[in-house]
Structure 1
Amino acid sequence: MNNSTTRRGFFKTTAASLMASGIAGRYQSQGKSTMEVKVQRLNLTHTWTISRNSSDFKDNVFVRLTRDGITGWGEAAPNVRYGESAQETVSKLEAARSAIESANWLHYTDLKARIDELITDESCAKAALDIAVLDWVGKKFNQPLFRIFGLDPARTPVTTFSIGIDTPDVVRQKVKEAAAFPVLKIKVGLKNDQEMLETVRSVTDKPLRVDANEGWKTKEEALEKIRWLEGLGVELIEQPLPSAMLEETRWLRERVNMPILADEAVKTTRDIPALSSAFDGINVKLMKSGGPQEALTMIKMARALGMKIMLGCMIESSVAIAAAAQISPLVDYADLDGNLLISNDPFKGSTVEKGKIVLPSGPGLGVEPVA
């Protein structure tokens, strides 16, 4: 399968449908264009600890595209796991500025291919541009993205609320703060795994999903812990072993009943075929894939291989969360809570009601800056 051709065909068909509906003539303006790039610190409500690090804030990069009086917003969430930084992300965006400002944003599929040429590695900078362009296109058409993609907003899933590794007292507090969410995701991968799960179970009997973030280093350790988790009624486990340990993960999958999902092991469509014999599903994230367009291609590939799909996130504002939410009707599981873990979200419009993702009715992403 030619992934680029598949993605282009899907989106060209969608765009053609919009144009054929009689609106083409209204959307041909190519006025002066600007691209602004800004780093903004997002403060975490609680110290965020997973198996490999802890942090109290994240420096994310925001993109603002403006043309014809319409603004499209995008966001990049650099992740140290992939060697990314805010400064490096800004540099990549600035290098692409001229090409982006001069491009026809309505031809967003072709522009995505051009972005892939401008930014050759798998960088979250791609996601920022793809999100911003799609937000602008949605606003230009005066349609929410889910409608442009032909998706049913009633089919959005419930999102988990993530509980980072912490002391028992703080874990209990986090669980109480997540009272409105029917399913929790518990971070593990350190020596206190048993304490984490026992603490959570002492205050709630909600369904749990567990994410080890590559924290278990041998297949034997992973086997022992997954069998223990099965006894606690945990629904699934994400990335129990380091991403390079594919054969060990395949061995593990043959010996447990719990679904195993790939996270760090999968970034883009080309990673998926090799994972299908070792994992039951994948965690698709816009920051890994390069944006919604590639994420949709990943979903199509995973479905063809009979895999389950989770739509996840990094620590992100409502911009990137809303972008992911727009395609959430296509997935089995969602973990779109990054904006709920910060105390200074600079945007508003991304909504969850009793744990269920509610797609905004406004055009594009449906979010706007906080005044």
Structure 2
Amino acid sequence: MLRTLQATHDRFTLKTPFRISRGERTVAEVITVTVAQDGFVGRGEGVPYPRYGETVEGSLAAIAGIAPAIEAGATRADLATLMPAGAARNAVDDALWDLEARLAGTSVAALAGRPEPAPLASAITIGIDTPEAMALVAARIADVPLLKVKVAREEAQAQIAAVRRVAPKPRLIVDPNESWTVADVVAWQDFLVEQRVDLLEQPVPAAEDAGLAGIASRIPICADESLHTRADLDALVGLYTHVNIKLDKAGGLTEALALADAARGRGFGLMVGCMLCSSLGIAPAMLLAGEAAFADLDGPLWLADDRPGGVRDEGGVLLPPHPGFWGARA
């Protein structure tokens, strides 16, 4: 067996700036990993996220550090002991899944015992702006099945109301990205119900989410920044009704699959999300998204140019990549 691993830094310019409560992005910075063996090539992608102390340089260094072990034959099962959960491990793990499927002449879905990815309703995200500007965006996509609204604490109610006024039909996720207080969550319950919010995602900082204990929220609340791997689940029981599984946090599809099963076993509803990424980061997540109550996989839709053969959006329905793009028979 002759196996080689390569990791590169790729940049994808966004169509428009992406704004959340922590700042603005105009470029998606990703790590692309390829693992080649016996004439087959597996690919994976990870998005180093500063919120978790990750950088492109650090991720590339971490991958270089385990490259000899991978080239010597280390498997996905070995990765959990070779690397911590995060974007770097995600890129390697997903590349190994892709390679394994190609070597076996099958699909990742078959290997994982999951249904093949199918078209699904995925949230279309509206980034933070003035309420008026957000309403203009929402009016253009008012017929999609699911909207996600990024909000800042100061204008949150005005932003939500502006979007809901022009888009009364879609299910609605509100995402403050840790910018609210526990007192806000309590005080704004009636408003959230009036605006028919279907899910409130990580309203308070992860370090303060213990304050959610005992709140009889009338809106389902989803953990995002508070959840990375199975090790985090027990601490979230009684605080959240749902958990947002992102492969970049979990460290790849291997842990994400196990995390989904463990979360369901504890009674959590599932959301499957993503970072700003290309379709190579979304293809593995689509294996899980069909099982989730909420899918938020519109990362590639923000890119000016995605990878060829990637996912496509039709009115808020995300279509899987072309056969052979990742993890499937060509």
Report the TM range for the smaller structure's normalisation.
over 0.9
Question: Is residue 20–residue 177 contact of structure 2 (8 Å, CA) maintained in 1?
Answer: yes
Equivalent of 1:167 in 110, 130, 134: 130
Question: Is residue 76–residue 96 contact of structure 2 (8 Å, CA) maintained in 1?
Answer: no
Matched, 1:204 2:167: yes
Aligned to 1:139: 102
Shift of 1:274: 1.4
Structure 1 residues 207-231: Cα deviation after superposition (integer angstroms, max 9, x where no partner): 2111111110x32122223431111
Shift of 1:326: 1.9
Shift of 1:362: 2.4
Equivalent of 1:94 in 64, 80, 84: 64
Matched, 1:325 2:289: no
Between 353-362 and 190-199, report the one with greater CA deviation: 353-362
Matched, 1:125 2:95: no
Question: Is residue 94–residue 252 contact of structure 2 (8 Å, CA) maintained in 1?
Answer: yes
Question: Is residue 279–residue 321 contact of structure 2 (8 Å, CA) maintained in 1?
Answer: no
Aligned to 1:230: 193
Distance 2:245 2:282 in 1: 13
Equivalent of 2:147 in 172, 175, 184: 184
Q: Tell me the secondary structure at the aligned position of residue 309 of structure 1.
A: strand
Question: Is residue 156–residue 328 contact of structure 1 (8 Å, CA) maintained in 2?
Answer: no
> Structure 1: which amino acid aligns with 2:44?
G
Q: 1:146 to 1:176 in 2, by over 3 A?
A: farther
Structure 1 residues 289-323: Cα deviation after superposition (integer angstroms, max 9, x where no partner): 00111001111111111110000001111001011
Distance 2:51 2:27 in 1: 16
Distance 2:139 2:16 in 1: 13
Between 310-319 and 199-208, report the one with greater CA deviation: 199-208
Gaps of 5+ in 1: 1-29, 105-110
The structure with the largest helix share of the pair is 1
Q: 1:37 to 1:269 in 2, by over 3 A?
A: same
Matched, 1:194 2:164: no
Distance 1:113 1:140 in 2: 17
Q: Tell me the secondary structure at the aligned position of residue 348 of structure 1.
A: coil
Distance 2:16 2:67 in 1: 35
> Structure 1: which amino acid aligns with 2:209?
L
Shift of 1:347: 3.9
Equivalent of 1:53 in 2, 11, 23: 23
Distance 2:111 2:310 in 1: 18
Question: Is residue 350–residue 367 contact of structure 1 (8 Å, CA) maintained in 2?
Answer: no
Identity %: 31
Distance 2:117 2:308 in 1: 23
Aligned to 1:365: 326
Gaps of 5+ in 2: none
Between 295-304 and 323-332, report the one with greater CA deviation: 323-332
Structure 1 residues 41-64: Cα deviation after superposition (integer angstroms, max 9, x where no partner): 121222111111211112111111
Shift of 1:199: 2.4
Relative to the length of structure 1, the TM-score reads 0.82
Matched, 1:299 2:263: no
Q: Tell me the secondary structure at the aligned position of residue 115 of structure 1.
A: helix
Distance 1:278 1:286 in 2: 22
Between 171-180 and 154-163, report the one with greater CA deviation: 171-180
Relative to the length of structure 2, the TM-score reads 0.92
> Structure 2: which amino acid aligns with 1:148?
L
Question: Is residue 184–residue 209 contact of structure 1 (8 Å, CA) maintained in 2?
Answer: yes
Question: Is residue 238–residue 260 contact of structure 1 (8 Å, CA) maintained in 2?
Answer: yes
Aligned to 2:218: 257
Question: Is residue 137–residue 364 contact of structure 1 (8 Å, CA) maintained in 2?
Answer: no
Q: 1:145 to 1:364 in 2, by over 3 A?
A: farther
Distance 1:141 1:364 in 2: 16
Distance 1:313 1:279 in 2: 19
Shift of 1:246: 3.0
Structure 1 residues 128-155: Cα deviation after superposition (integer angstroms, max 9, x where no partner): 0010000111222232322222223477
Matched, 1:152 2:122: no
> Structure 1: which amino acid aligns with 2:121?
V
Q: 1:232 to 1:77 in 2, by over 3 A?
A: same
Aligned to 1:215: 179
